[in-house]
Structure 1
Amino acid sequence: MAKKKILFINQEITPYVPDNALSLMGKNLPKVMQERSHEIRTFMPKWGNINERRGQLHEVIRLSGMNLIINDTDHPLIIKVASIQSARVQVYFIDNDDYFGKRLIERDEQGVEYDDNGERAIFFARGVLETVKKLRWVPDIIHCQGWMAGVVPFYVKTAYRDEPSFAETKVVTSLYNKSIEKDFGSDFKQFMEFRDAKPELLTDYKDTFDFDELGKLAIDYSDGVIQAVPDASKVLCDYAAAKNKPLLGYQEDFGDAYEAFYESLYADEAK
């Protein structure tokens, strides 16, 4: 496979959060691709349960300082960085006191899902894309993992489609099992509006977005879809198949298969 620039947008990465299928792949996939000489960048939210001192996170002043307007409110974007020494992978963290700060991942300390999870996903998506622009780095592939990255494909193909950083980028979404139940509220479509990402593009979706609806949005605006785990959402796997999206089934030994899948997205374009 020709060497690619691959942007990994992850909901969770071990060892910064507890081990699970999503967080382990969040570390292992960038590690494997970097070992195969691909150039990578890796992002995740700076969840409140991440120990900054233990993880040796520090703020990147030159990348921080932008304000993102969501729900008519300015939210400062803070960028931090750290390295997973065992994997030799650098991780950029998207932080904000309102959306992340001292707050946990999907649920609070009592196990209750956050009412603004949808807004958090919007902030994360825009924060990553704006930071990549600032880095002046042009990815060939954007690989999204976790519902928190579900808005990214929509933005890449609409609001950011004319940006030099993303104009030729292929987007891949990995599917996992359903992890949240609460919907994102009746205003989620309006909150997503940004540049050419208009609410009228969302008329075919339910008025209220939830895990499945966000997954469908991600699939529709992705160039390829991967079943990342054996128990990935059947609803979303079936939806991707029905939409005739290039779909890679579960691969336990994923290195060669993922590389070939990335390459196939460009091969299809050349036909």
Structure 2
Amino acid sequence: MTGKKILFVSSELVPYLPENEVSLMSYESPRMVNSKGGQIRIFMPRYGNINERRHQLHEVIRLSGMNLVINDMDMPLIIKVASIPRERIQVYFIDNEEYFKRKGTFKDKEGNLFPDNDERAIFFAKGVVETVKKLNWAPDIIHVHGWMSSLLPLYLREYYADEPIFADSKIVTSVYQKGYEGSLNKEMLGKIAFDGIAEDKAQALSDPDYNNLLKVAVDYSDAIILASEGVSPELAEHISKAGKPTLPYVSFQETEEAYTNFYNTEVLK
């Protein structure tokens, strides 16, 4: 992996959020690339339950200050950074007071999904791309983890299709069992269409449940990693029919070798 540039985009990441399958692999996969001489960037949302003082987040003024249009509303983009000290890995946080200041990650204190999770996902996808453009950093691979990140493949291939910095980037999506119950806002497809993405490009999102959101991510990715042992049969069938390079589930102890080989032989070939 020496010299290869890999952009990791994740919904969750330890040590900033509690450990689970998504947050742990979102930490381990960039750590592995970093240890093998690859260049990495990691992006995640700056949820309100992340302790900025403890983790020493600070705003990067030169990257902040842009407004992103979400469903005809101007939303200010704030970029913060922090470092994972023992790995010397820098993490970029996509922030906006309207979308991410609240204390929950995906749900309110009653356990209900936030009604604007669809807009948060759109804002996150656009925020990542616009920030990477400002960094002028062309990734060889873009590796997506977690459902809040799952609109990135669609936006890269459609909304940002003519962006030269991503012309040669390969998109890898890790598919996890961990998702959400129910559906996101039923207006989600219309909000994506507002950005000029034809509705037939993401028709599955007319019902934005977890499986349909991941199906769209799979459709616009170049390769897939089955990151959970128990991916739903519906998603597994969709992945199989997509006919894209797919890494079957491997145990945590096997991931370093398996991911490295997959990147080198299937994604970067």
Whether 1:188 and 2:188 are equivalent positions in the alignment is yes
Cα offset for 1:256?
Answer: 2.0
Q: Deviations over 1:139-186 (max 9, x none)?
A: 000000000111000111111122121111100000111421231222
- In terms of mean alpha carbon deviation, does 140-149 or 111-120 score higher? 111-120
Q: In the aligned structure 2, how far is the partner of 1:234 from the partner of 1:2?
A: 36
Whether 1:89 and 2:118 are equivalent positions in the alignment is no
Whether 1:259 and 2:260 are equivalent positions in the alignment is yes
Tell whether the 8 Å contact from 1:47 to 1:101 is kept in structure 2 after alignment.
yes
Q: In the aligned structure 2, how far is the partner of 1:30 from the partner of 1:87?
A: 10
Tell whether the 8 Å contact from 1:66 to 1:76 is kept in structure 2 after alignment.
yes
SS at match of 2:97: coil
SS at match of 1:18: coil
Q: In the aligned structure 2, how far is the partner of 1:233 from the partner of 1:242?
A: 14
Instruction: Give the total of aligned pairs.
Output: 266
Cα offset for 1:243?
Answer: 1.5
Cα offset for 1:2?
Answer: 5.8
Tell whether the 8 Å contact from 1:159 to 1:194 is kept in structure 2 after alignment.
no
Cα offset for 1:126?
Answer: 0.5
Cα offset for 1:206?
Answer: 5.1
SS at match of 2:87: coil
Tell whether the 8 Å contact from 2:3 to 2:38 is kept in structure 1 after alignment.
yes
Cα offset for 1:195?
Answer: 5.5
Q: Deviations over 1:36-66 (max 9, x none)?
A: 0000000000011100000000000000011
Letter in 2 for 1:172: V
Q: In the aligned structure 1, how far is the partner of 2:193 from the partner of 2:168?
A: 22
Q: In the aligned structure 2, how far is the partner of 1:10 from the partner of 1:52?
A: 18
Matches of residues 1-271 of structure 1 in structure 2 within 5 Å? 1=1, 3-193=3-193, 197-203=197-203, 205=204, 207-252=206-251, 253-263=254-264, 264-267=266-269
Cα offset for 1:135?
Answer: 0.3
**TM-score, normalized by length of structure 2?**
0.94
Quickly say closer, same or farther: Cα 1:163–1:206, change in 2 above 3 A.
Answer: closer
Q: Flag the structure with higher helix content.
A: 2
Q: Deviations over 1:205-236 (max 9, x none)?
A: 25221111110000000000001121233322
Tell whether the 8 Å contact from 2:175 to 2:225 is kept in structure 1 after alignment.
yes
Letter in 2 for 1:8: F
Q: In the aligned structure 2, how far is the partner of 1:111 from the partner of 1:179?
A: 14
Tell whether the 8 Å contact from 1:175 to 1:233 is kept in structure 2 after alignment.
no
Q: Deviations over 1:96-115 (max 9, x none)?
A: 11111123111112211111
SS at match of 1:121: helix
Q: In the aligned structure 2, how far is the partner of 1:4 from the partner of 1:152?
A: 20
Cα offset for 1:202?
Answer: 2.6
Letter in 2 for 1:90: Q
Quickly say closer, same or farther: Cα 1:39–1:194, change in 2 above 3 A.
Answer: farther
Letter in 2 for 1:213: N
Quickly say closer, same or farther: Cα 1:198–1:128, change in 2 above 3 A.
Answer: same
Q: In the aligned structure 2, how far is the partner of 1:232 from the partner of 1:141?
A: 23
Letter in 2 for 1:238: E
Cα offset for 1:260?
Answer: 1.8
Letter in 2 for 1:14: V
Q: In the aligned structure 2, how far is the partner of 1:146 from the partner of 1:89?
A: 20
Tell whether the 8 Å contact from 1:178 to 1:211 is kept in structure 2 after alignment.
no
Identity of aligned residues (%): 48
Q: CA RMSD in A?
A: 1.5
Tell whether the 8 Å contact from 1:125 to 1:151 is kept in structure 2 after alignment.
yes
Tell whether the 8 Å contact from 1:12 to 1:26 is kept in structure 2 after alignment.
yes
- Runs of 4+ residues deviating >3 angstroms: 193-196
Cα offset for 1:199?
Answer: 2.3
Instruction: Provide structure 1 residue ranges, at least 5 long, that are not aligned to the other structure.
Output: none
